[in-house]
Structures are given as structure tokens and as C-alpha cells.
Amino acid sequence: MRRTAQRRDGRDRRGVGIESKVEGFNERSRRAIEDEALHAAVEVHSKNTVNNRNRALRALPDAPELRERAYHIKQETMANLDRYLSQMAEAVEARGGNVFFARDGEEVVRYVGDLARRREARVITKSKSMATEEIELNRRLQEEYADLGLKIVETDLGEWIAQLAGDTPSHIVAPILHMSRHRAAEVLSGVAGEKLPPNVEDLVAFARRRLREKFLSADIGITGANFGVAETGTIVTATNEGNSRLVTSVPPVHVAVMGIEKTIPRLKDLSVFLRLLSRSATGQKITVYTNMVSGPRGEGEADGPEEFHLILLDNGRSKLLGTEFEEALYCIRCGACLSVCPVYRQTGGHAYGSTYSGPIGAVITPLLKGDEEAKDLPFASSLCGACAEACPVGIPLQDLLLKLRRRQVDEGLASKAQQIAFKGFEGAMRSPAAYNAGAKAGRLFQGPLSQRGLDRKIPGPLKGWTDFRELPPIAERSFRELWKEGF
Amino acid sequence: MRVSLFVPCYVDLISPGVAVSVVRVLRRLGVEVAYPQGQTCCGQPAFNSGFFDEARGVARHFLDVFEREPSDYVVCPSGSCTTMVSHYYPFIFEGLPEERERAEALGGRVREFSDFLMNVLEIEDLGAHYEGRAVFHCGCHQRRELGVMEEPRRLLENVAGLELLDWENEELCCGFGGTFSVKMPDVSAAMADEKIRALDKSGADTLISCDSSCLMHLEGRLRRTGRTTRVYHLAQILDPDLGKVG
């Protein structure tokens, strides 16, 4: 059943013609396509990561089996997620940690804000958290708890630079892929109060010095989680900068915000996922730091926070369980699908207008936020399948994109013009007589068009085609006519 | 050996010469070719746009037409349209067991042209001749769903006078993507431009593919940007009478 598109704000944004209104992807990508620095950066990054990744996976003889295992572990986890989550919660609580199930971003903001108030916190350091990007935790804490005067500092180098620049990450693994080192130097020079040279060593050395002060003064450290182990209540983060360890162990309070789908059942499953994650993300055998946190400082222990809070974030995830879209929850955020995607390659991450970009972003953004909020994203793909081929846990990304396109049509979100056009298409293609008549009409119609000159752009549904390419004419005689005549 | 010819709609209407070449190549090899007259389109444009009901309607017509025609195989000069039938008909008939079974049965008999030549007829040298320096573009369905990547290359390596060149990032999608080409035209064209830069760099004067849809998009962009690169479907290169009809 198709319903007519009804928007919450009452505006009808259904498009006209075959080109649907894509809510900004085209506009944003147009700017990106003209950005040559962005192109060069994405190209180099893709080439390096894809090469490194292929080399790393080739060196792993059981890579295909690992991928299968990862898929099956995730499948089994999702089928029993409620059980695994309570197991994890019990394990964390048994070690003196606190567990909070957050339905949405709002509940996370309340929880963290109230915690910050109780702890009289001033400085919060953060590391490795896309889940908090997704719910815009920083902005909302600063706005909704303005009286606390919180200073929130991202400490992953790229994230920090993005934060200083008032920018958002554009890649799951390389957050400031879109930024040149000259731009990064400019941003850091702004905080340094002196001109820093645009070379990586100097910039990193500066960041180290400056971030060190933040680590030591932080009242609360917030991280995400690459994995949460149900069996032991262990939160795992894989990083290359070591900052995550300073965020989890130096401040008196550690808060981990984890999407519920990051659960894995057993500690031994980590060996499957860590091998796949590091190789797929950066081509490393293992990341430089693998952090495992299982609660606050225990009796007689030398370090660790006084308080440990695990926030398990739903935010639209549990409604995907048991549906045809469940596989989207298997994602381990390695970014491999971005690195191989020919669309991402042209547009970079910001064109997607979401925390999550690339093929996985085009899938999970509408699933988490709703189709109307990300109407264009499932269509921002040529369906070439490079993403599904690269995915280390076997998510059938292009099939999910196709199903999301179908869901929009089912929901009545497709333009009226498209609805009419495809009904007409079906009618014509089910009847050879109609098909032939259509071909004849096309031939008559193209006469006046082609007289306008081959390089002329034409309006209407084919505008998208002729703005960029020559339109081939319909042949004087179709194959079926040639066949009848004999040759 | 008797085959039914499945001619994609855009080949029928825009590049009929491709299908003519397919018929000539197959006949030279002693294959009896039937052309079921009721055929139209596989329904992929509707499917790709999310209009599964409409795609199913077209698919039912397709199944009716090709089930009626007695043949050993259905041969199609397009990796993409072959994939629509062999892989995506079962996908859209999920939950409709009777039609899914019909789709799987027919899908098992549908072969992309180069796949049919190499893996069914076991022919790799057709004694063809073509003067030119060429790059080959493998369509994405053909590469990933069908896994027919080496076959066209092998056939081209055996064409006298043809020098098959390597080109950069040859595995990248050309950016056609069906309705993607008109819905996201800027990105689609930028993707074509990257292929064209690689083509320029290779020094090729000819572009060959097993998918006329990729070629229509790439040729459209080549001409718009003032290039004279020759563009052919594999079947045309293998056809000794290339250029006589269509």
C-alpha cells in the first residue's frame, strides 16, 4: 500500500520530473566535486588504505572464513541481543560500574549532564566516539547545561582539529580527510598563538603538548566503544594515538557511550573482530593501542577511574532487530566501504550530511533517523557493489540500499512524476505493441530535438543526462525490425 | 545448440548493431539463434528506483516470453541485464515461491555473451581482426555478481591487430548506475570523468565493454568533452562484418 507523502512540517517536498528532490546531496556533492584538494586527499587515502588492506588481508590466509565467522557471530548476537546486554550490564555492575540504557540522545545528554553537575565537572575529554557525534552530545551539553560552563575537548587528533575548526568529521576512520595539512596548520596555529609550520611532526608535537594539559585536568573522560564484551562486561577501543587510554584512566570518571549493536558475546570473539577491524580500517595487523576497560578502579588497584558508567545507546537500533535491515547493525565502523566507494571518492563525506557517510552511512542514516530525513541517501549510489565486496563482516550493502529505495516507494515518498512514469514503464514493457509504439513516438519526437544540435541541453526528465552527456538517438530501425527484415 | 537471444531494450532501440553482431558471431559458430518477439525490457530501471511492484510486472512478462521459447540457453549482450534476471529476479520474488522458482530456473540458463562463448561453447579465438589500442571496461554487475572478468579480456587478447592496454583503477564503476545517471548527474559525470582521465592516460583510441549502458554513458561524456575515442561493444569487435549493418 502506498501512502501519500505527508510531511511533519506540512510541506510537500516531492520532486518534479525523474530527478527527485534529493534534499541536498546533489548540491553538497557539486561543491565537493569542484574541491580539487579534497579529491586529491580522498584519492591518496583510498589508494593507500585499499592497498594496505588488500595486502593485510592477503597475508591472512583465513580471511574469508573470518568474515563468515564475524557475520555469524553478529547474526547470533542480534538474535539474542537482550540476553547479551543484560549479561554485559550484570558483569559491569558486579565490578562496581554503573549501566544506563538510553533510549535516545536526549537521555544520554540528561545522564551525562546530571553526572557532570554532581561531579562539579569543568573539563571533559573525549575519544573515539561516533555514537556521541551521532547524538551531537558536545553541542547539546554545552547548550542545555550552559550554566556548568563545560569545556569539552575531543582528543583524537583529527577530531580535535575538526572541533577547533568548527567542522565535522568526514570519514569514519580518518575524520579530517577533507582537510589539507596546510589548513590543519592554520587551525592549530590559531590555538597556539604562533604560526606553526605545516608539517605533520611539528603539528603532532604541538597537539601532544596541548592535549596533555587537557588529559591531566579532565574531570570526566568520555569514550565510545569498538566492542562491548557481554561475557566480561569489557569495553574495547582500538586506537593508534594512545589518547583513549588517557581519557579512560586519568580522569576520576569514565563514561563509555556504546551503540547496543557493538555487543559481542565472548572475549574470544574479539580475536575475530580485532583482526578484521584493524586490517580493514588501516591495513594494520593490529592497532597500536587496544584498550580494554571492565569497570572502575578496584580495591588494591593502582589506576583507573573512581566511577565508571556504561551508557548503552539505542537511538533507533533495536527497531531494526529481526527486520530485513538487521544486517546494517553488524557494522564495525572500519570505513572499508568508504575507501572503495566510487561515489564517496568524488564527494567526500560531508556531502552525505550525516555523521555516517559512504555506503554504510547511506544505509544507517535513514534507518536511524527515518526515510524522510535522509531521502536522498539510498539513491547516492551507483549500486556498483564495491562496498559489499569490501565489507569485512559481509553486510550486503547494495541490497540494503535497494530495499531502502523500495521502502521509500512503499511509503509514498517517491515523486508523483516517478510514480506515473514507472506505472507507464510497466504498462509499456508488458505489451510489445505499446513498446513498439513508444519507440516510434520517440523517433518522431527526437527529430525536432536533434535539430537543435547534438550538444544542446534539453529540459525535462532527461535534463540530468544532457547536462553532462550527449544523448544517443533512437536508431532508424530497431533490432527487432532488422531481425524481421533478415540479415 | 539453440539459444534465445535476450536483447536489452536500449540495445534494441539505440545500439541494434550490437545485437546484430551477437547474432552473426553465434551463427558463425553454428549456434541456432531464436529471437522471442514478445521481449521488451528486464525491468531493471524500475527495480533500481525502488519500484519493485512495477519491476515484478515486467519480470513476469519476461518470464512468460522466454519460458515459451524452447532453447538451451538465453544469451544476453549485457552483464547488467543478465544479472537482473539471474540474481535480482529471485530477489524481487522473495516470498513468492512459485515465481521465485520460475525465476531461478530461467536465471540458471541466462548467460552473458562472453561467458557463453568461453564457458559454454569453449571458444576463445574467433579469428577476429581490429586495428586499435583499446581498454576494456568491465561493468560492475558483470564483475561482482557474475564474476565474468577474465573471459572478455581473453577474447580480446585473441583479436589480431588489437592491443589491449591496462588502465588505472580499472575496477572503478563508470558512474552510469541506471537512473543514478539522471538523479545524481553531477557525481555520475565526475565518475565518468575519472574513467576518461584514465583512458586518456593509457593512450587508448578504443573503449570496449560488454555493457552498452556503461558505454552509452561514457560515450555521451566522451563526445560532450570533444573526444573521438571509438566505442564498441565486445560483440562488435568479435564480428568480422563489423560496420555492415546497424
CATH of the domain at B50: 3.40.50
ipTM for the predicted complex comes to: 0.96
To test the contact with chain B by mutation, choose from A403, A426, A431, A444 the residue with the greatest count of B C-beta atoms within 10 A, namely: A426
What is the mean predicted confidence (pLDDT) over B90-103? 97
Tell me, yes or no, whether B71 and B141 share the same domain: no
Give Cβ neighbours of residue A205 (< 8 Å, ≥ 6 apart): none
- pLDDT value at residue A233: 97
Q: Which of B119, B154, B169 is the last residue of a domain?
A: B119
Kindly tell me if the per-residue pLDDT of B43 is higher than 90.
Answer: yes
Q: Note whether A14 and A368 are within 8 A (CB).
A: no
Over chain A, what is the mean pLDDT? Answer: 90
Kindly tell me if the per-residue pLDDT of A49 is higher than 90.
Answer: no
pLDDT band at B85 (very low <50, low <70, confident <90, very high): very high
Kindly tell me if the per-residue pLDDT of B98 is higher than 90.
Answer: yes
Number of domains comprising chain B: 2
Please check whether residue B246 lies inside any domain of the structure: no
Q: How far is B206 from chain A (nearest CA, A)?
A: 18
CA-to-CA distance for A411 and A343, rounded, in angstroms?
26
Mean pLDDT lowest for which of A9-13, A62-66, A399-403, A474-478?
Answer: A9-13
Query: Residue A472: its chain B contacts at CB < 8 A?
Result: 14-15, 216, 219-220
Q: How many CB atoms lie within 10 A of CB A376?
A: 23
Please check whether residue B211 lies inside any domain of the structure: yes
Confirm or reject contact between B15 and chain A (CB < 8 A): yes
Most confident of A450-459, B78-87, B236-245: B78-87
Answer yes or no: do A342 and B175 touch at CB < 8 A: yes
Domain range enclosing B173: 127-238
Q: Which of B72, B101, B119 is the last residue of a domain?
A: B119
Kindly tell me if the per-residue pLDDT of B203 is higher than 80.
Answer: yes
pLDDT digits (tens, 9 = 90+) for A101-142: 999 999 999 999 999 999 999 999 999 889 999 999 999 999
- pLDDT value at residue A274: 96
Q: Which of B67, B87, B119 is the last residue of a domain?
A: B119
Answer yes or no: do B49 and A462 touch at CB < 8 A: no
pLDDT digits (tens, 9 = 90+) for A393-414: 999 999 999 999 999 999 999 9
- pLDDT value at residue A15: 32
- pLDDT value at residue B243: 62
Tell me, yes or no, whether B113 and B161 share the same domain: no
Kindly tell me if the per-residue pLDDT of B242 is higher than 90.
Answer: no
Tell me, yes or no, whether B112 and B131 share the same domain: no
Q: How many CB atoms lie within 10 A of CB B83?
A: 26
Kindly tell me if the per-residue pLDDT of A17 is higher than 50.
Answer: no
Kindly tell me if the per-residue pLDDT of A4 is higher than 60.
Answer: no
More confident site: B136 or A242: B136
Answer yes or no: do B144 and A406 touch at CB < 8 A: no
How far CA A198 is from CA of A155, A167, A188, A195, B196, in Å, comes to 20, 19, 10, 9, 34
Length of chain B: 246
Q: Note whether A432 and B37 are within 8 A (CB).
A: yes
Q: Note whether B80 and B211 are within 8 A (CB).
A: yes
Strands (E), A234-324: 234-239, 253-259, 263-264, 289-293, 307-313
Tell me, yes or no, whether B184 and B214 share the same domain: yes
pLDDT band at A13 (very low <50, low <70, confident <90, very high): very low
Mean pLDDT lowest for which of A15-19, A195-199, B45-49?
Answer: A15-19
Q: Note whether B205 and B165 are within 8 A (CB).
A: no
- pLDDT value at residue A3: 37
Tell me, yes or no, whether B69 and B171 share the same domain: no
Confirm or reject contact between A30 and chain B (CB < 8 A): yes
- Chains A, B: CB contacts under 8 A, how many? 211
Please check whether residue B244 lies inside any domain of the structure: no
What is the mean predicted confidence (pLDDT) over A416-438? 93
CATH of the domain at B204: 3.40.50.11810
Please check whether residue B107 lies inside any domain of the structure: yes
What is the mean predicted confidence (pLDDT) over A333-357? 94
pLDDT band at A1 (very low <50, low <70, confident <90, very high): very low
pLDDT digits (tens, 9 = 90+) for B161-202: 999 999 999 999 999 999 999 999 999 999 999 999 999 999
- pLDDT value at residue B244: 56
Kindly tell me if the per-residue pLDDT of A455 is higher than 60.
Answer: no
- pLDDT value at residue A23: 64
Q: What is the pTM of this model?
A: 0.94
Please check whether residue B14 lies inside any domain of the structure: yes
Please check whether residue B58 lies inside any domain of the structure: yes
Query: Residue B175: its chain A contacts at CB < 8 A?
Result: 342, 382
List, as ranges, residues 388-427 from A with C-beta within 8 Å of B: 388-389, 399, 402, 404-409, 414, 418, 422-423, 425-426
Give Cβ neighbours of residue B244 (< 8 Å, ≥ 6 apart): none
CA-to-CA distance for A221 and A214, rounded, in angstroms?
10
List the grid coordinates of A5. 507523502
Tell me, yes or no, whether B131 and B214 share the same domain: yes
What is the per-residue DSSP string for A131-166? HHHHTTHHHHHHHHTGGG--EEEE-SHHHHHHHHTT
Answer yes or no: do B190 and A33 touch at CB < 8 A: yes
Tell me, yes or no, whether B84 and B132 share the same domain: no
Query: Which has the closest alpha carbon to A353: A341, A361, A342, A343?
Result: A361
What is the mean predicted confidence (pLDDT) over A74-93? 98
Please check whether residue B243 lies inside any domain of the structure: no
Tell me, yes or no, whether B91 and B170 share the same domain: no
- pLDDT value at residue A16: 31
Tell me, yes or no, whether B49 and B131 share the same domain: no
Answer yes or no: do A435 and B178 touch at CB < 8 A: no
Tell me, yes or no, whether B96 and B133 share the same domain: no
Q: Measured between CB atoms, which of B54, B144, B223 is closest to A389? A: B144
Exposed e or buried b for every residue in A109-129, given b needs 16+ CB within 10 A? bebbbebbeebebebbbbbbb
Exposed e or buried b for every residue in A438-456, given b needs 16+ CB within 10 A? bbeeebeeeeebeeeeeee
What is the mean predicted confidence (pLDDT) over A60-84? 95
Angle at which helices A36-58 and A25-34 pack, to 10 degrees?
90
For residue B40, give the chain A residue with the closest CA: A429
Tell me, yes or no, whether B47 and B108 share the same domain: yes
Give Cβ neighbours of residue B87 (< 8 Å, ≥ 6 apart): B107, B141, B145
Tell me, yes or no, whether B86 and B166 share the same domain: no
Name the helix (H) or strand (E) containing A101: strand A98-102
- pLDDT value at residue A128: 81
- pLDDT value at residue A461: 74
- pLDDT value at residue A303: 85
Query: Which has the closest alpha carbon to A334: A253, A383, A381, A397?
Result: A397
- pLDDT value at residue A352: 94
pLDDT digits (tens, 9 = 90+) for A196-250: 999 999 999 999 999 999 999 999 999 999 999 999 999 999 999 989 999 999 9
**Burial bucket for residue A302 (CB in 10 Å: 0-12, 13-18, 19+):** exposed
Kindly tell me if the per-residue pLDDT of A9 is higher than 50.
Answer: no
Kindly tell me if the per-residue pLDDT of A11 is higher than 50.
Answer: no
Strands (E), A167-315: 220-223, 227-229, 234-239, 253-259, 263-264, 289-293, 307-313
To test the contact with chain A by mutation, choose from B6, B11, B33, B40 the residue with the greatest count of A C-beta atoms within 10 A, namely: B40
Give Cβ neighbours of residue A443 (< 8 Å, ≥ 6 apart): A474, A476
